Structure 1
Amino acid sequence: MQTANVTEGVVHSMEEIEGLFNNLCIAKRSTHKTEDLTYLLDIDCLKVPTGKSDQLVAVSCSNHCLRVYNKQTLTLVQQFQGHSAPISGIRFAQTSDQLLFSASCDGTVKCWDVRSSSTDPVQTYKGYPNNVFISFDISCNDLVICAGTEKVEEDTYMVFWDARSWTKVANPGGQEPLGVYSETHNDDITQIRFHPSNPNKVASGSTDGLVNIFDLSQETEDDALLATCNSDSSVSFVGWSGKELEQIFCMTHDEGFYLWDLAHLHNDEPITLVKMQDVRESLKFDPDDLDYLTGGFYHKEADRLYVLGGSHAGKLHFLNCVAGGLAHLHTLRDRHSAVVRAFHWDSEDHSLLTCGEDAQLLLWKPNATELTAEKKSLTKLPSDVRRKMRVHSKIAYKSKK
């Protein structure tokens, strides 16, 4: 693989950064057996200094397993199989280089040691009876885990645990929760997103259309609720944005995009900065070029919020958030062969990782040349995988008990 010198040194200007997006090409791809028909559902990267040979990336798979790869070579390092239902999210610890957490519809969150030869979880965090976890996150200081549940009868919960209990001897019955929030959503909680630098602040999104922001330092759920933002649709993605990270954005299952400024909660300025009910219609892409939004990220150096969207055929588009909405920035010349389910942008080495329903994990770098350019054919799975994982659909996953 060869890369241009543009990735060396510091990139500051928005024009330089967006130029990097324009030049992204596939540098590496994970290999998989042709009979391996697993979708790759979620992705996260271990936060270690750029250039270290042991940078790791984890993906969750539709066969309920977790895979850990070397980021630079995309060779498989470890595989964990311990959930009995679809995995709804994965997160590396931010203050440790060995811990990976996963949440599942089986009603557990598990902690894995990626540096150990053992494939058993080092801790299991157990929910309450009938809990089906469809979202989760861990605070930036790795002290608190929060998972969101599917609605059962009239109940939906944000469940909290003390993440530090992984240091204790694993309890065969699982670590019990610290408690729950149960009053602020009335439908499935599809997103949990802790603030990147404030461990007490967390946002939640739901199929009830609401994005709620909480301060966990408060004693009660009512006191903890700082703001409620309404997307008028089912929330599929939530993230933090802005120089002071006081903005919250969300995407919906019908491809809407909303951006709110929480700094305006206590003044007369409007809190809603962007409201797009259907990005596909607003941007007027050619038919079938933009079918869905994958997610977004705030780029600190560019001071700009970027969004990734794609087509069912595997195209990927960079969109940037400008005054009043999203604008098309660039379409990558390379592509997946099916829907892209998740991505991770690394602002330090300007690389992009993507994974999706073609069972491929791809590493993109500016001006890269892939030495083995054989394109993988589209792989398929039984249709119930798409239904269970609620891809761009308002239909709730219903576990088979």
Structure 2
Amino acid sequence: MVELPAFGRRLKELRMERGLSQAALAGDDMSTGYLSRLESGARQPTARVIAYLAERLQVDPCVFEEPGVGSVAEALALATSADGDEALQKLAAALELSPAVDPTLRWQALWLLADAHARRGARQEESVLLEELVRTSEELMLPELQCRARTQLARCLRTLGDIPRALKAGQEACRLAYDHKLSVQDTGAALLTLVSVEAEAGRLSDARAHADDLVELVAERNGTLRAEALWAAATVNFRQGDSATARDLLEQALTELDSRLDLVLWMRLRLAAASLYLQSSPRQLDECRRRLDEAESALSLVGTPVHQQEMLTLRVHLAFEEGRYADARAAHDELVLDELRLTYRDRIRLDMLHNRLLILEGQAQQGVQQLRELAERAQQTSNIDLAAEIWRTLAETPKD
């Protein structure tokens, strides 16, 4: 049975998972206005509409039915042993109807659901689950789980641009890791997140000290944690103005990480390198394009809609830096701005580029005003490093 508003939520989730705009899903036989009303729960779908949308999405019509609810333990077993959203929906429903469930089961369910939201780029929903995960870890009183919950929460809040809360969660995670002498994996993950938050907050000396601690911690290891540690250290060095060291550290990570170990991270490192080359002075546009082309080869295999948005965003920036302003505008307009799942920093930098294009297109007053508003917003949310970048961009941008 199809129920409102569950049908609308499910429809929108499936559409966004596939990176489709409302117009693309509606096709020639449905108006986008009608599709929008379906997604909002304002209209009840007919059987014919359900069949049409299922065909467009290439799913079985039964996926729109309200999932049945079993025990949390049963739902958790199903969700951990099967791919797809239906099992996760059943798990979420079971959890909602079982507030007094054993905290160990609740922990596992929340962790799994939060990870699913993170992979879709649904960061607001993820943050709600992670807040509950932190509270559940306090009930369990296990330092490892307390540390992991705060590490994930700090990472999510940083992505959302909520730097003060991210900083607090990251500091608490590191304190737990050191006080309880947790594993290199847990300590490294906590440090990695704290470094990234401190860098966003403009606390570069603290970030540099913790990045050095992190690189030393993983000096004898190989694999993903070491690659991420080198990436974090590269970011801090770059923001301190040492682009040569940043490039060397990131290239070291690129060289050391085998794609067979973690193809997603292999791809993300190349996107990070492309971004670094775009922002270097002088710009290294050929190197940027090379790294993007490498990442493109993995995107079709393991890329999510979020990764696709990151790739297109970098292509927009590359076109702008190459002086291909019409191409930059066209690529920018391909992005469905109200459905972006980029990090706060990447969304703001995309807004910066949009306003620089406005200035070049003869709308200088509007572009300059909106750049100022972006800088002020970044300052108000404690994204100090990002605010400084916007003010610098504004000062260097010709106004006529």
Query: Using CA pairs below 8 Å that are at least 6 residues apart, which structure has the higher relative contact order?
Result: 1
Which has more helix, going by share of residues? Answer: 2
Tell which structure's C-alpha radius of gyration is larger: 2
Which has more strand, going by share of residues? Answer: 1
Scaled by the length of structure 2, the TM-score of the pair is 0.31
